[in-house]
Amino acid sequence: MLSEKEKLEEELKLLKESFELDVLTKEEFETAKSRIESKLKELAASEQKEEAKSELKQEELKDTAVEDTTVKEKENIIKSDKESHTISEEEPDTERDEGSWEDYIDRLEGYEENIKKDEKTVIKETVIEEDETDDETDDETTERIKSVEEIKNEKKPFKAFEKSEKNSKKIFAYIAILLIIGIGLFYFLSFKGSGGNSTQNEKNAEQLSLIACKSNENCYKENKVGICKNPGKQDAKCEYIDDARTKLIILNSGKCFNCDTERVLSIIKGFFPNMEVEYISYESEDGKNVAEKFGIKTIPAYIINSSLKEAYNFNKFSNAFVEKENSFVVKNKVSNANYYIAAEEMPKKLDLFLEDGKTASMRAEQNLKEFLDAFDGKVNFEKHNADSEIAKKLEINTFPTFLINNKIKFSGVQPANVIKKNFCELNKIENCNIELSKSLV
């Protein structure tokens, strides 16, 4: 199923082909081209707006995730400090794992508390001993006090290390917070700038939306012809008139892999809206009768009844039809018919139609080489110039064009794998299981 963008691009391609074949006047071509390009721009703007919303949402999620991470880091630091104090106060004498610096610092905090207690105990014992025993010498007291001082001096370097470690953690946390604030500010300013452009685009879109129409293509009502009065101006308006009722028969085949009708049908109904559509299979009895009656040799074929003459836009597009049996058949050059139902089938046959010296034709040959090498001896290949008799007979006017089994054609520069896939639609051989390049060379 084609996307809206692909449909518009296909419609633009067919429009250019119709103009080159003098089916459309320059004014009609420019009007229709302007409509399609306008729709493509609107689609692009819509896609850009959706992408901007998606990017904004992703950035908001990123900011939220960063903030959550920072909060968790802070909570872990606070939790770590609390656990450290709890351990030192409740279990100062408990021996812990010496595998980490944090545990080592916790032990030192407990050790410091013991030092303070030992200091008081030593001083107290010194005083008691002086009172109770006069025989104790001043040297012994001095020695006790000295031992306390030595213990305190041993602790000081570790205390300094502990403070340095905690200060480093605090500094790291502050730096992380500053980085987060900076990143958030950057994205905020970026969003603000883009938001300004978005607002301006929305204002422009709103102004355009106030204009009722810019061309007839903007005026649509089922089964009616829309006419834009004062196109593109503030007082523009759509008027609708009843169109003649017509009937379209589309003759097609389920055996054709390259016979899509959606693109051409959308263009026909765009100009002749009050139309009934009937599909007939070429393989059915009715299909064979229709093909014989109107001399159809290629499909899909589009046949409209005589009421087409009464349609509002008939005179503008009469060059696109051939009148047969009191009906109007769309010309093969316009209908993009790809299946030669009257041609003799030639299994394992592949023809390539080229324009000498043209870049597209040369690239088509380069990409075809891989396929021919992989299917060496299994494909009957022939190459033809654009001005060859067979090209004229088959009414091939787009180059490069491939023709498979003398029955179904497809055009354009194609990767080797696409050529293989199309060839194998009509030829079931062992090499069809091989994977070839899916991109152009």
Range with the lowest mean pLDDT among 27-31, 138-142, 245-249?
A: 138-142
Range 54-67 average pLDDT: 64
Q: What pLDDT does 29 receive?
A: 76
Domain assignment present for 234: no
Same domain (yes/no): 313, 393: no
Confidence of residue 202 (pLDDT cuts 50, 70, 90): low
Number of domains in the chain: 3
Bond preceding residue 300 cis, omega within 30 of 0: yes
pLDDT of 274 over the 70 cut = yes
CATH of the domain at 400: 3.40.30.10
Same domain (yes/no): 62, 186: yes
Pick the closest to residue 345 from 424, 408, 429, 400 (CA basis). Answer: 408
Tokens at 84, concatenated: 């450290």
Point out which residues pair with 402 in neighbouring strands: 352, 410
Confidence of residue 34 (pLDDT cuts 50, 70, 90): confident
Same domain (yes/no): 308, 382: no
Domain assignment present for 11: no
Same domain (yes/no): 76, 153: yes
Q: What pLDDT does 135 receive?
A: 46
Same domain (yes/no): 322, 199: no
Range with the lowest mean pLDDT among 37-46, 87-96, 370-379, 429-438?
A: 87-96
Cα separation, 401 vs 23, whole angstroms: 22
Domain assignment present for 95: yes
Same domain (yes/no): 143, 272: no
Task: Say if residues 265 and 345 touch (Cβ distance below 8 Å).
Answer: no
Range 213-225 average pLDDT: 90
Same domain (yes/no): 295, 416: no
Residue predicted with more confidence, 95 or 6 = 6
Point out which residues pair with 251 in neighbouring strands: 280, 301
**What's the number of CA atoms in the CB half-sphere (13 Å) around residue 321?**
23
Q: Is the pTM of this model over 0.85?
A: no
Instruction: Using a pLDDT cut of 70, give the percent of the chain over it.
Output: 65
Domain endpoint, select from 294, 324, 341: 341
Domain assignment present for 212: no
Range 298-325 average pLDDT: 96
Domain assignment present for 5: no
Cα separation, 214 vs 31, whole angstroms: 10
Q: What pLDDT does 391 receive?
A: 96
Point out which residues pair with 281 in neighbouring strands: 252
Domain assignment present for 354: yes
CATH of the domain at 263: 3.40.30
CB neighbour burial string for 219-254, b if at least 16 within 10 angstroms, e if fewer: beeeebbbbbeebeeeebebeeeebeebebbbbbbe
Domain assignment present for 120: yes
**What's the number of CA atoms in the CB half-sphere (13 Å) around residue 104?**
10
Domain endpoint, select from 317, 341, 365: 341
pLDDT of 413 over the 90 cut = yes
Domain assignment present for 441: no
Same domain (yes/no): 280, 332: yes
Which of 126-135, 139-148, 332-341: highest mean pLDDT?
Answer: 332-341
Same domain (yes/no): 414, 331: no
Same domain (yes/no): 332, 350: no
Domain endpoint, select from 154, 185, 207: 207
In degrees, rounded to 5, the angle at the alpha carbon of residue 423 between the alpha carbons of residues 430 and 420 is 70
Task: Say if residues 419 and 367 touch (Cβ distance below 8 Å).
Answer: yes
Domain that holds residue 298: 243-341
Same domain (yes/no): 327, 363: no
Same domain (yes/no): 314, 362: no
Strand 321-324, strand 327-330: pairing = antiparallel
Torsion of CA 53, 191, 172, 65, to 10 degrees: -20
